[in-house]
Structure 1
Amino acid sequence: MGCAFAGNHVAARVAFDDGAGVLLAILMRSGGTLLVLAVLVLWQRQSLRLPPGAWRWQLLLGLLIATQSLCLYSAVARVPVALALLVANVFPILLALLTWALGGPRPSARTAALMGLILLGLVFVLDVPGRLASNASAGPEWLLGVALAFCAASVFACALWITDHKLPQVRGSVRSLLTIFIVFSSANLAGMTGALPGGLNLPASTTGWLALATLVVLYGTGFIVLFMSVPRLNMSRNAPVMNIEPLATLLMGWVVLDQMLSAGQVLGGVIVVTGIVLLTYRKTAHTPGAARPIAGIPKRN
């Protein structure tokens, strides 16, 4: 699943380089996933009725995921894919801080130390030492790309907090369907109103269309398999393996796009991923089948 999500972002960059608009990519991937999820929910005969007071949180969740998709794809279009994914994957830090700020448990000393390790890795990922040594100024596209990736991490952390604290009683399949529907509707609305100029531009060649088709298949497959696996796996123990996505993106970006980070950036990427894995890892409690979450990182649904 991690490799599928990584391939989706690499395919998106191929499509963007061929002239495809960001909104077009979001529409295609959310539309394809929406169709499959709708069939699954209808087949399982799940009710779309939500508990009282849940609709506003479900709407906000969908809008946050739509924003995250737009920001991350926009970042991928401007900076190397692996760099965008590494910056966007700092969401566990933001989620821990958000949970603490909203009355949750204070991050432990171990969690705070790992946060510092991740931030140190990001310093190398963004090649801060190299830029300071060469006095090279970052271009506007680079700065905007990094800012968009961080924005994607921020809104995704908010979306996870809402999922954990405001919508835990909503069945995962229904929540996923409604979220994707809101993402699809938001992208349609943005396209019709012209809110994002060039967002619906078509690819210039067959390569771009094939890339769009590939990202639809990879994202849809990863999303649906993840949705089907959550009830069957102990995600509190197995979720950290999903952090293979940035490293898989680094390899795919080199093979497909000829994008290669420097040795220092690769080292920083390893530090970031290692820190995230340790941060999201949950130790098994003594009671069989029980899991104990890290302070500041709530258990995800």
Structure 2
Amino acid sequence: MPPLAVGSWVAAVEQTYAADAGMRRDEAIRSATPGAAFPIFAAQAHGLASCPMVGFDAERLAREFALAADEIPVLLVAVGHAAEGNRPQKPRLPVAQILTTLQQPEVDMPKPSDILLTALAPAVWGSTYIVATELLPGAPPLSVAAIRALPTGLILLLLVRQLPKGDWLWRSFVLGALNFTVFWALLFVAAYRLPGGIAATVGAVQPLIVVFAASAVLGTRIRVLSVLAAVMGMAGVALLVLQDGAVPDMPGIAAALGGAFSMAFGTVLTRKWRPPVSALVLTAWQLTAGGLLLLPLALLLDPPMPPLDAANAAGMGYLVLFTALTYILWFRGVARLEPAAVSSLGFLSPLTAILLGWAILGQALSASQMIGAAVVVASIWLSQRATPSRQVHAR
């Protein structure tokens, strides 16, 4: 049941009480209150209310409303329905947010299937490097990004037949810009200005950004294991892809950092706003919005797209198809897993790229790359272990 605002809850009590003359007021309260009960003790345990028992005559309230002591809803505290003369302290969070948190079921740990399905996304993204170099050499990068996003988003919109409304119209463009437009544009700038190893290593700071952004935006606790896992992942990526003698370029490094910040905040805001739709619908909205924003950039900054041969068309089709599938899995994971745990899975992208280069193109694997691969895998495992033992499911 969705959380009730204070005014609507009070109105619901009065309406329920007035509709049935034979109903006692305590029955009306139970009928109008979301769930069976929301004890103030639960609010304290969740850290959602600041000392709600101070100055609050719980026993007298229970007697007057014929409620058991453990049935006093936290909403009574918030609306001030205490004994006369008592002023309960204001909760630290909005009442609606308290109720939402208290209503959400808790589970022991994220399901392994959720982690594996989410991990498929960055693993497949790692294959785009070989597709781009072998099937789309020399293609204008922003044009490829726009073609990758916009047609995919429009096809998904035709399938879901659901457009964003209200706040979700502008939120879709914000998330589409962060997760696709800005991220992909800066990614290509970094790729042009930096050796691939430096670009990938700087971009690997994203999970560390997510740890601190989630703390600032979502209020999640910064865990030592999450920070350690993010630093380990960066080190592993550096061992995988960094080449000796690579010369850094400051504008390129700034672009790589900007791309990492963009997708990091896109991940955190997606979790904060909790879209009221499925991952499929959310992916359709974001890809369409991101593609619409990429299109003018491609028209202004890229040279004309050359004619496509069969290999180019196959590469483009691969990118369009797997962009849709992987981002559906990715946003599903963002809704179900902690942001830090999700972002750490992104380390699989450079790992997959290196392994595919070895398996398909015959590229050599050095000892440092093998060590880097092991460090990346260990960092992902550590990040999942850092997830709290009790986690709230997304709706």
TM superposition score normalised by structure 2? 0.56
Aligned residues: 272
Tell me whether 1:191 sits opposite 2:307 in the alignment: no
Give, in angstroms, the shift of residue 185 of structure 1: 0.7
Query: What one-letter code is carried by the residue in structure 1 that aligns with 2:391?
Result: R
Q: 2:165 aligns with which of 49, 57, 66?
A: 49
Give, in angstroms, the shift of residue 90 of structure 1: 3.6
Task: Name 2:156's counterpart in structure 1.
Answer: 37
CA RMSD, 1 decimal: 3.9
Query: What one-letter code is carried by the residue in structure 2 that aligns with 1:138?
Result: V
- From the superposition, tell whether residues 209 and 172 of structure 1 become closer, same or farther in structure 2 (CA, over 3 Å): closer
Q: 2:324 aligns with which of 195, 216, 220?
A: 220
Q: Is the 8 A contact 1:68 1:156 kept in 2?
A: yes
Query: What one-letter code is carried by the residue in structure 1 that aligns with 2:325?
Result: T
Task: Name 2:214's counterpart in structure 1.
Answer: 99
Query: What one-letter code is carried by the residue in structure 2 that aligns with 1:71?
Result: L
Q: 1:64 aligns with which of 174, 178, 196?
A: 178
Give, in angstroms, the shift of residue 102 of structure 1: 4.1
Q: Is the 8 A contact 1:125 1:269 kept in 2?
A: yes
Q: Which ranges in structure 2 are unaligned for 5 or more consecutive residues?
A: 1-119
In structure 2, C-alpha distance between the alignment counterparts of 1:75 and 1:260, rounded to whole Å: 25
Task: Name 2:144's counterpart in structure 1.
Answer: 25
- From the superposition, tell whether residues 254 and 40 of structure 1 become closer, same or farther in structure 2 (CA, over 3 Å): same
Q: Is the 8 A contact 2:358 2:364 kept in 1?
A: yes
In structure 1, C-alpha distance between the alignment counterparts of 2:194 and 2:373, rounded to whole Å: 15
Give, in angstroms, the shift of residue 300 of structure 1: 7.7
In structure 2, C-alpha distance between the alignment counterparts of 1:230 and 1:103, rounded to whole Å: 17
In structure 2, C-alpha distance between the alignment counterparts of 1:242 and 1:120, rounded to whole Å: 14
- From the superposition, tell whether residues 115 and 48 of structure 1 become closer, same or farther in structure 2 (CA, over 3 Å): closer
Q: Is the 8 A contact 2:126 2:350 kept in 1?
A: yes
Q: Is the 8 A contact 1:111 1:279 kept in 2?
A: yes
Tell me whether 1:292 sits opposite 2:391 in the alignment: yes
Query: What one-letter code is carried by the residue in structure 2 that aligns with 1:24?
Result: S
Where in structure 2 are the equivalents of 1:1-301 lying within 5 Å?
1-2=120-121, 3-16=123-136, 18-42=137-161, 46=162, 48-50=164-166, 53-65=167-179, 66-75=181-190, 84=199, 87-102=202-217, 104-125=219-240, 127=242, 131=244, 136=245, 138=247, 140=249, 147-169=254-276, 171-192=278-299, 194=300, 196-198=301-303, 200-202=304-306, 206-224=310-328, 244-256=348-360, 260=364, 262-281=366-385, 285=389, 291-292=390-391
In structure 1, C-alpha distance between the alignment counterparts of 2:128 and 2:175, rounded to whole Å: 22
Higher RCO by CA contacts (8 Å cutoff, separation 6 or greater):
1
Give, in angstroms, the shift of residue 267 of structure 1: 2.2
Local SS of the residue matching 2:126? helix
- From the superposition, tell whether residues 33 and 259 of structure 1 become closer, same or farther in structure 2 (CA, over 3 Å): farther
Give, in angstroms, the shift of residue 63 of structure 1: 1.2
In structure 1, C-alpha distance between the alignment counterparts of 2:159 and 2:272, rounded to whole Å: 25
In structure 1, C-alpha distance between the alignment counterparts of 2:289 and 2:324, rounded to whole Å: 16
Q: Is the 8 A contact 1:85 1:246 kept in 2?
A: yes
Bigger radius of gyration among the two: 2
Q: Which ranges in structure 1 are unaligned for 5 or more consecutive residues?
A: 286-290, 294-298
In structure 1, C-alpha distance between the alignment counterparts of 2:325 and 2:273, rounded to whole Å: 27
TM superposition score normalised by structure 1? 0.71
